[in-house]
Amino acid sequence: MVEDFVLLPAYAMAGLCLLAAYLTYIVLSLGNRGRSVVAALVVLILILGPVRGMLNAQEDEDSSEFPGVEDVTFETKPNIYFIVFDSIHPKSLTSRYMGIEETAFQETFYARMDRFENLFSARVPTKSALNLMLRMEVDEFDRATPESLELFRGKYDGRLNAIFRNNDYEINTSYYGTYFGIEQGRYVDRYHTSQTTSACTFNDSKFRQVSLFGLCRFIDKKDASTTENGKDTAGSGRDKWPQADHLLNFVSYLSRQNKPQFLLANIYTPGHTKKDFVIENEKAVAAFNDYYQARSSQAQRVLNKLLDQLEREDPTAILYIFGDHGPWRSRGNWEARFEEDPVFFVHDRFGILGGVFPKGRCSTYVDMRNDQSYSTSIQGAEAILKCVTEGRYQELDQDYIIERSPDGVSDKFGNYVYE
């Protein structure tokens, strides 16, 4: 009902065009040729602007097809949630590099989910990790920068969007603040960012800029100026946690919709190092370890709430949880840090924890990935697609190499397996 309501401004726009035409007729009837010409030009601009926008939108939609997408048909259509926890690391890596045998978050994750082994984020940092998930095609993603960083809010289309749209899913993205931008594009149905819920929150992407006669745009800008960012002593994250309720409430909302839902969302926890972190500083290292464990306990509570909520409200749903990147303890110049210790660099920035809930739901396809030497976050998503197509989905044939690897040799994830 809310979504139907926010479409009203589209009809209001058509009415304004008709009103403009009527006013032009009145001016023309006054007999003042100069004023009539000016009035006619103004009306022409008012009418052609929206029309051109609609034509461009249609042209973009027509040209946004991805080869083979129409062949990816789901046998079942459960709600599918991709939730990205910031900087989550597997036990093998926290033990090896941080001396942490097990965090609270890992305890819940390993017990309740099917885990991908030797999992890497195909691209880092956060913006690249999440936007690439929607594009899926690594080479195309790398070539399209900076356009590639606009997929999350729906300004550009992606292969994953097209696959879900072809199966009659609504596409949603969610981030607590406005890190990914303010205005929603046409290629997601909902871009959920604000701390508060309003008629604008679940607005249709094509009409957000004019919905409620411009009020949505005003609310977007207001939210951008009131995003709550706390401070901490060791990590770079946000200490205040309305974002957890924000995400859980949005997932609950999606679980009640009539159409199947796909969600890609990020929640900042446990978090990474600050920009001025120096790994050679023993005090800073100890402080970050304490911070990481404390935030992992906080993340565990969020994870348990999320899993319990899905069992209760959306028991047929499939949840894929993965990290956007590692703890980022290798702060410093990218090339210098890589050359200094490439194994640590890759494990620290690209090594992530990831898995599927409920346990056993897609275990066949998780196990198939684990039979390979490694997996990327994209291939984890493809395991979900295999699961809902009963194995018929064909993985993309592409090379997964480490972006900006300076030597051009040690650039394959297969050279950095850690389990």
In the chain, % of residues over pLDDT 70: 71
Residue 394 in contact with residue 365, Cβ under 8 Å?
no
φ/ψ region of 212 (left if φ > 0, alpha if ψ in -120 to 50, else beta) reads left
- Lowest pLDDT segment from 30-34, 251-255, 366-370: 30-34
In angstroms, how far is CA 185 from the centroid of its own chain? 13
pLDDT at 208 over 90: no
Cα separations (Å) of 41 from 22, 51, 183, 327?
Answer: 14, 15, 30, 58
Nearest to 257 by CA among 81, 38, 26: 81
Average pLDDT over residues 392-417: 85
| CB neighbour list of residue 48: distance below 8 Å, 6 or more residues apart | none
Q: What is the model's pLDDT at position 414?
A: 93
Q: What is the model's pLDDT at position 385?
A: 98
Q: Where are the domains of the chain?
A: 73-176+227-416
Q: What is the model's pLDDT at position 85?
A: 97
- Whole-angstrom Cα distance, residue 79 to residue 76? 10
- CATH number at 73-176+227-416: 3.40.720.10
Q: Which residues pair with 261 in a beta bridge?
A: 170
pLDDT at 53 over 80: no
Average pLDDT over residues 325-347: 94
Q: What is the model's pLDDT at position 44?
A: 61
pLDDT at 353 over 60: yes
pLDDT at 50 over 60: no
Q: What is the mean pLDDT of the chain?
A: 83
Could you read off the pLDDT of 142-173 as tens digits, one per residue? Answer: 998 888 999 999 999 999 999 999 999 999 99
Average pLDDT over residues 197-217: 46
Residue 82 in contact with residue 382, Cβ under 8 Å?
no
Q: Confidence band (pLDDT; 50, 70, 90) for 177?
A: confident
pLDDT at 332 over 70: yes
Q: Confidence band (pLDDT; 50, 70, 90) for 81?
A: very high
- Lowest pLDDT segment from 72-76, 231-235, 253-257, 315-319: 231-235
pLDDT at 290 over 70: yes
Residue 396 structure tokens: 């993309």
Overall size of the chain counted in residues: 419
State the DSSP H helix or E strand holding residue 289, giving kind and residue range, or none if neither. helix 282-313
